[in-house]
Structure 1
Amino acid sequence: MVDGEPRSGVEPPEPPAPETASPVGPAAERMLCRDDVNGVITGVAAGLGRHTGTDPVVWRTAFAVTALAGGTGVWLYIAAWLLTRDARGGPAMLEQLLDRRLSGEAVLALLGAGLALGALFSLVGGFGWTTLVLAVPLILGGLVAHNRGVDLSRVARRLPEWLKSREPPPSAPAPEPSPAYYNPAQPWAAAPSGPIDLAVVGRQAAEGGGDCGAQSPPWKTSRRDRDGGTATKRDRRRGVSLLGVVCWVVLALTAVVFALSDEVSVGALVGPQAAPLYLGGIVALLGAALVVGTWVGDPRGVTWAATLVTLLATAATAVDLTQVRFGETAWRPAAASEVREPFELTVGQARLDLTALPLEPGQEVTVRARVGFGSLEVLAPETARVVVHGRAAFGSIELGDSLSQTGTRLDLNDVLEPVSVSGEDGEEGTAVDAPTLTLDLRSHAGNLEVWHVPT
């Protein structure tokens, strides 16, 4: 065709302009990485908190609480460390071993499945506090996820698909340039030759360049900032506070429990028999409030309340909270019937005075005392033979001026012979006629002291 001549025939259509593809696949994937900046040990909990938009304290608490159930939380933490990528977006260890990509949603689903399997295995020996420790965080996590719009049934259906995917893992990020000195004869950096596509540069900056640490953690930004600087009327006034409604229902439930038990005491609420039902009912009530808050009402504060009640329920199933004692106390039994039950103090300082205990010649009496964290001082009459069986995980054990041990895992078995012995007629007797006090003393961390004192 010559320039200037009329065009004849039908011209071929021009090729369509290439459309900008929407970011799908790995580019649009929400990366789950460890957070080295806000992390405490390995950054796993901080990374999970940033990915889910929750405070890392919630994740750390969940790992610590489930660790009480046969070490399940420890194994879950190790699994999370193997499944999460490093802080710069490099492939996770299991992604490299399996040669496949695992999305953040798949990692969360695997952790939830592991917690569910642990709860099921704990049912083999019957329902107990181990099952409760694992089931309560699992239920709370599911309710919170549902409250945030996560379709749990869809996640369960897609988990096998994620595991069967053969998509290769992400490549390791390029190493950062090493620092260099300034040389006036050599430019600091040379610009690449050719044109630069600013659209590509802007898209890479928006995606964070594959670096997980490009954005601020969601729990450190305000709701106004997350919503783009706008606050709707519903954000300012969201209706009835569901936490307030739950508090009134809990008060009514507490009154019913007191009426059925015919006593008003803490033991009726958090005792070994009542705690699973009472505290478990409150946890279920808070979970229902989270679900209702998805549609109506104001659920703010419900998640923290549910976390606190869950920790209390876990503690109540592990120990008898009605026997928890704090402070400084003194015991001075005056009859043999008063030493049948052990003397116990959770945290503090205790003194056990056995000088007022009536002892007959040749009589044997066993006294048990427990102090979890603190000190225990035992005063025994000098006319008695004292057989001491003391154990302490950490601290010291002293038997008068004759023996002292300090360190860890202490196990002391020794005897304090009587200083003087009185017979029935008031005359000095023999050591064979001396009464025997057998002391069974225990402590997790603290000092145990046994002394002979005159009566």
Structure 2
Amino acid sequence: MVDGEPRDEARAPESAAADTSPAAGAAERELRRDDAAGVITGVAAGLGRHTGIDPVVWRTAFAVTALGGGTGLWLYAFAWLLMRDARGGPALLEQLLNRRLSGEAVLALLGGGLALGTAFNLIGGFGWTTLVLAVPLVLGGLIAHNRGVDLSRVARQLPEWLTKREPPPNAPGSEPDPAYYNPAQPWAAAPSGPIDLAVVARQSAAREAPDPDDEEDEDSGEDRERPPRPKDRDDAAARPSPRRGVSLLGVSAWIVAALTAVVFVHAGGVSVGALLSPQAAPLYLGGVITVCGVVLVVGTWAGNPRGVAPVAALVTVLAVAATTTDLTQLRFGDARWRPAAVSEVREPFELGVGQARLDLTALPLEPGQEVTVRVRVGFGSLDVLVPDSTRAVVHGRAGFGRVALADRVSQLGVGLALHDTLEPVSGSGGDGAAEEAVSEAPTLNLVLDSYAGDLEVWHVAA
């Protein structure tokens, strides 16, 4: 035995262990933007592909948190700076910092940014803005915990991910696509470019080599189904089986139904206002979100929590809408208003979506009297009928659509604003009497608002 042999034997296990280490064999799971499935920049589509969560959920989260002081907007921009392009090229911040950022580090930075925005909003006191940011933060943490992510370990490793000096990946270069030889195609019609002879050899060998299973079937003369190969059986065994157990979505529905019944009993009747009014919505919808969060935590150990997270996201959006707008006042369909007293026009007329018609011909007005009427139609059309014996001072605004004042003025476009006056129609008396009737005519101040639609004001005979 030579003196060098024991040293070689001792070194062999170490080199084998080094070659089979996870770092050497495992490829990095990159977080890339998905331009093909993206809507704007591919950020939400790339996050959805990396995490296995529908991109719609990510887009909803960015949109909801944008209502909290614009936090979702700068989080989206931050994600665009941190994510690599669709081909795996380095992210902009990776190039500026000259270091590699893993997908886990990017997700941790986004979660930390959302937590920082929530903390800043808490400085001024707890309000609906804090609720808008805190609910997605809590839901995101629960979903991560449900998937087996150790959030404390991620928080401890984040400084290490940011301080390591591993260089960013190189931008992929464009290479010409090889043209492969097709034996059935004549050389005169062959495409230009390099020919990979190794591929040609493998394709020819694959066509010429007989399948031993097919030979056995031919020898036996029987048509039998081929049993799965060992590799196929290993792949089937390695494939994770779907999560089984009690559907926690059904359990959540029963709990929410019981909570709704308690709210109706406490309110003394069944009404939408008891659930979605600005005073009741934070408590009721906040309770529903809490139930979903508890169910997601329970689903980590038992049951099937599938479908709970999307429901929680939708309820969060509804909670944000209920805290910013009085949903109980929204009206849909067709509306016909014909007030018969001045007291009936003190409150504004409102319609969410549909067609509205306001007839002011039955409104009793004294000479020289001035009355203000406010009408708001979200999406749709509005026709206002004014008696020809009154003066109509119109202040109309429409985000998109058309604004018309009788046959004299008509505007069509975006961001419309109309400020004009319809003078009363003079009577049939002498010139002096007609001028006196016009000067003493009552005045209707019409304040008309619409997000998108048609606003029209007409003079009609009373």
TM-score range, shorter chain: 0.7 to 0.9
**1:220 equivalent in structure 2:** none
CA–CA distance in structure 2, aligned partners of residues 304 and 422 of structure 1: 68
**Alignment partners' CA distance in 2, 1:402 and 1:30:** 66
Does the CA contact (< 8 Å) of 1:421 and 1:433 recur in 2?
Answer: no
Q: 1:384 to 1:11 in 2, by over 3 A?
A: closer
Aligned pair partner of 2:386 in 380, 387, 395 = 380
Question: CA, structure 1 residues 25+376, in 2 after alignment: closer, same or farther (shift >3 Å)?
Answer: farther
Whether the aligned pair in 2 keeps the contact of 1:49 and 1:59 (CA below 8 Å) is yes
1:340 and 2:346 correspond: yes
Matches of 2:146 and 2:196, distance apart in 1:
51
Q: Distance in 2 between matches of 1:169 and 1:309?
A: 40
Out of 257, 262, 265, the residue aligned to residue 256 of structure 1 is: 262
Tell me, what secondary structure is at the counterpart of 1:28? Answer: coil
Amino acid at match of 1:385: R
In the alignment, what sits opposite 1:206? none
What's the counterpart of residue 205 of structure 2?
none
* CA–CA distance in structure 2, aligned partners of residues 257 and 306 of structure 1: 19
Give the aligned residue type for 2:454: N
The amino acid that maps onto 2:441 is A
How has the CA–CA distance of structure 1 residues 328 and 120 changed in structure 2, closer, same or farther, with 3 Å as cutoff?
A: same
Per-residue deviation, 1:190: 6.2
Q: What is the 5 A alignment of 1:35-434?
A: 35-177=34-176, 188-189=194-195, 228-229=235-236, 235=242, 238-420=244-426, 430-434=437-441
Q: Which amino acid counterpart does residue 457 of structure 2 have in structure 1? A: V
Match of 2:6, SS state, is coil
Distance apart, 1:191 and its partner CA: 6.9
Letter in 2 for 1:437: L
CA distance in 2, matches of 1:432, 1:372: 35
Q: CA deviation at 1:282?
A: 0.3
Residues 326-368 of structure 1: CA deviation (Å, up to 9, x unaligned): 1111111111111111001111111011111111111111100
3-state SS, counterpart of residue 256 of structure 1: helix
Give the letter aligned to residue 341 of structure 1: E
More helix by share: 2
Q: Is the 8 A contact 1:355 1:380 kept in 2?
A: yes
Confirm or deny: 8 A CA contact 1:396 1:405 kept in the other structure: yes
- What is the aligned length? 411
Matched AA of 2:455:
L
Alpha-carbon separation, structure 2, partners of 1:121 and 1:180: 58
What's the TM-score, normalizing by structure 1? 0.84
Deviation at 1:188, TM superposition (A): 2.3
How far has the Cα of 1:124 moved from its partner? 3.7
Q: Secondary structure at 2:122's aligned position in 1?
A: coil
Deviation at 1:277, TM superposition (A): 0.7
Deviation at 1:315, TM superposition (A): 1.1
Q: Residue type matched to 1:75 in 2?
A: W
Hey, what's the Cα distance between the residues in 2 that align with 1:298 and 1:170?
A: 39
**Which amino acid letter does the alignment assign opposite residue 68 of structure 1?**
L
Secondary structure, in 3 states, of the residue corresponding to 2:152? helix
Secondary structure of the residue aligned to 2:5 is coil
- Deviation for aligned residue 1:376: 0.8
Structure 2 CA distance for aligned equivalents of residues 272 and 124 of structure 1:
23
State the one-letter code of the partner of 1:284: T
2:319 counterpart SS class: helix
Structure 1 residues 243 and 231 mapped into 2: Cα distance closer, same or farther (>3 Å)? Answer: farther
Deviation at 1:9, TM superposition (A): 6.8
Cα separation, 1, equivalents of 2:373 and 2:193: 84
RMSD of aligned C-alpha atoms? Answer: 2.8
Q: For residue 273 of structure 1, give the secondary structure of its aligned residue in structure 2.
A: coil
- Residue 179 of structure 1, CA deviation: 7.0
Distance 1:14 1:261, change over 3 A: same
SS of the equivalent of 1:352 reads strand
TM-score, with normalisation over the residues of structure 2?
Answer: 0.82
1:42 alignment partner AA: T
Residue 67 of structure 1 and its aligned partner are, at CA, apart by: 2.0
Aligned partners of 2:355 and 2:381 also within 8 Å: yes
Note the residue ranges of structure 1 that are not aligned, 5 or more in a row.
Answer: 1-7, 193-224
SS, match of residue 12 in structure 1: helix
8 Å contact 2:360–2:387 — kept in the other structure? yes
Please tell me the residue identity of whatever aligns with 1:168.
P
CA distance in 1, matches of 2:54, 2:396: 43
